[in-house]
Amino acid sequence: MERVCFRLQVRKDRMAEYVERHKAVWPEMLQALRETGWTNYSIYLDPSDGLLIGYLETPDLEAAKAGMAAREINAKWQADMAPFFEALNGQAPDEGFLRLQEIFYLA
């Protein structure tokens, strides 16, 4: 199982709306994430600067991302979420995140 931690930057002026949107993630999106292997998925937001940290576990991150990329609901969700982020350089949020290196793990 891969443990994946990543970071994105939410625009300061969009943080409150970003939080509200995640109180009601579309059921179809949640189902697609589960079906493609995204487990123990959490996101955290620093309210002082918009730093977003995500964490998930998956058997294979590339396969999980490819599985989501094949879903129409993912394309809609990513397009809806893209305006909330800085520095995506034309990528969707699920492709533009920076994966962080795991340094230590205590099982």
pLDDT in tens, the chain (107 residues): 999 999 999 999 999 999 999 999 999 999 999 999 999 999 999 999 999 999 999 999 999 999 999 999 999 999 999 999 997 888 889 888 999 999 999 99
Which CATH number characterizes residue 7's domain? 3.30.70.100
Range of the domain at 10: 2-100
Given 11, 12, 22, 34, the catalytic residue:
22
Q: How far apart are CA 102 and CA 2, in angstroms?
A: 10
The count of structural domains within the chain is 1
CB within 8 A of 12, min separation 6: which ones? Answer: 49, 50
Query: For residue 16, what are its two tokens?
Result: 């409150």
Residue with the two structure tokens 């795991």: 102
Query: For residue 107, what are its two tokens?
Result: 């099982």
- What is the per-residue pLDDT for 96? 87
Check if 55 is active-site. no
